[in-house]
A and B are shown apart, each in its own frame.
Chain A
Amino acid sequence: MRRAPQWGVTNNLRGREGFRVGLLLVPAGLALTVFYYLPVGQSAVYSLFDLRFSLTPSADLFVGLGNYVDALSSGEFWGAVGFTLFFSLFAVALDLSIGMFLALAVYWVDTRFRTLLRAIIIIPWAIPNVIQASIWRWMFNTDVGLIGDLLVKLGIAASPPLFLVDTRLAFIAVVWAYVWKGASISAIFCMAALATVPKELQEAARIDGAGRVAAFFRITVPTMLPVLVVALIFRTRDALRLFDVVFGLTRGGPGGATETLSTLTYKTYFSFNRYGLGSAYAIISFGLIFSVAVLYLYRIRNQLSTTGSDR
């Protein structure tokens, strides 16, 4: 499409233009600097000091990379790294596939039910994470939890499983509680992705004699891919920084089996008051998430360089 004239440049008031841009951008920039970038910088500094019970670095507390050495040689830390990565792998794969299934269902059902089904799917997304965790704590209750009861009734388990006590079951419980809401978030993305697939394209594939499944994987999925990639990156980022669900469901237990990088860091800060070591943990998890973040920024680079054209 023809690019609309850039009226802002055609006038000679370049100085005033800059002033205007500044006035518009500075408030947001200030807020982000104070509450994101400054704290990140501070954490990076803290991580170089042996800070316990205080957050005032002084020269005699300087330990260089000592906290990082401590972190990398701590079993607790590697346990948290392992759990976080393992969890993310399962959680993201599950929540994207269930999300895709939910989105396809919205498109497949009779049009009369479409709005209703979409509303049903959106509801878990609106539940605050910690409340989601608390609800599932009750569902997974050993004595009177609904899940245990149903497993016994269906003959899958002889007695209600000790979901939050057994290491392996606790892993499943955390993944499931997370995916229940995660699938709803992924479904929102998948619905938007499906909306980008032109109807004619699907029909053309059908006329060519492609089967339903073949048409889905050969036409629908590739067309949806750009949006799916963003969904994948978002969901991976969220899984890697998992905190609320674990904090509310297992508190990292049993015996640290479900400790994530974020819950371990939080504990190191506020239970053990080891701010230096905690900051080192935080910086390392930031590095992990940053690698995903770079992928995301690369993906949305088009929006980043938007020049106000009518694209």
Chain B
Amino acid sequence: MRDRTSAKRRHTAASLVVVLLLAIFCLGPLIWIALTSLKPAGTEFRTPLEYLPREPTVENYQTVVSSSFSIQTAILNSFFVSGLAMIGTVLLGGFAAYAVARLRFRFKFASVLLIQAAGLVPPIIIIAPTFILLKTAGLVGTLWAMVIPNIAYGLPLATLLITSFLSRIPMNLEEAAYLDGASWMRMYWQIIVPVAAPALISAGILSFLGSWGEFMHAFTVSLGLPRLRTVPVAILSYSQAFELQWSWVSAATVIALVPVVVLSVVFQRGVVRGLTSGTVSG
């Protein structure tokens, strides 16, 4: 009996050590950035290295929200782009998944293949023609040049995720409503959507974070204009423009990461389930 409790206690202690070590691995770089952000501008280059800021300050945070930096512009842009793209992706992906998972039709295999194969197209191959297309449409110079393509970029994963969720629900779900003569649109919104809510939410979070982190396209269509920068574009241009002011870059990074870190931790279950939904049931 005593042996068991001591073994248990040892496991707890060992667990604590493992958690701590893995936290250093996963969060160490982020903690280092956070510490750098508290060092007065210029002192981050002092040698020997100060692990903890000797004169901690929040000045850098004031600097990066001032008009010359304006990290908040980038964050608002990212919310605008990712939020609208998320709505579009979940809407279109939900419709497509509903058709694939719940209805019978010819060319189903071909349709699904078309949707999933798109996810394998490397971004580099579509970047130049997409730029030309958006320019011709007069969208370059606005945030819509990022919103609209990101709807498409989120679709393969979102559709796969919602399809695999819907195809696991028994078929007789809609039967009663169908026999009652409900229209298929009403059926989708009143029966499918509530049941598929977990999958729709996972798909939403993953497409939101996908657009939030998208860089190559946003960098290309923002044309170097500060008012069009999304978060990744802004952080990269700071880190290259202010090579010698890493306290500023770090403060901007910390602010910029808060939304995604909160989102991913709050929805960790949805993230894990969503990312792997296409893999587990196969």
Contacts and interface: CB of A to CB of B under 8 A. Distances in A.
A117 interface: yes
A185 B275 CA distance: 9
Interface string B219-238: 01000000000011101100
A80 B121 CA distance: 19
Contacts of B44: 144
Nearest to A36: B118
B217 to A, nearest CB: 10
Contacts of A308: 101-104, 167, 171
Interface string B12-51: 1001101100110111011011001000000011110100
Interface in A276-311: 278-279, 282-283, 285-286, 289-290, 292-293, 296-297, 299-300, 302-311
Given A134-B236, A188-B271, A129 B213 contact: yes
B179 to A, nearest CB: 8
Contact of A306 (B15, B101, B121): B101
Say what secondary structure dominates the interface of chain B.
Answer: helix
A266 B152 contact: no
A20 interface: yes
Contact of B155 (A28, A118, A192): A28
A6 to B, nearest CB: 6
Given A29-B111, A130-B215, A123 B264 contact: yes
B11 A8 contact: no
Closest A-B pairs by Cβ, 4 of them: A4-B171, A128-B213, A192-B276, A126-B264
Interface of A: 3-9, 17-18, 20-21, 23-25, 27-29, 31-32, 34-40, 42-43, 46, 55, 102, 105, 108-110, 112-113, 115-131, 133-139, 141, 143-144, 146, 149, 180, 184-185, 188-189, 191-193, 195-196, 226-227, 230-231, 237, 240-241, 243-244, 247-248, 261-262, 265-266, 269-270, 275, 278-279, 282-283, 285-286, 289-290, 292-293, 296-297, 299-300, 302-311
Interface of B: 11-12, 15-16, 18-19, 22-23, 25-27, 29-30, 32-33, 36, 44-47, 49, 88, 91-93, 95-96, 98-105, 108-109, 111-118, 120-130, 132-133, 148-149, 151-153, 155-156, 159-160, 163-164, 167-172, 174-175, 178, 184, 209, 212-213, 215-216, 220, 231-233, 235-236, 239, 246, 249-250, 253, 256-257, 260-261, 263-265, 268, 271-273, 275-276, 278-282
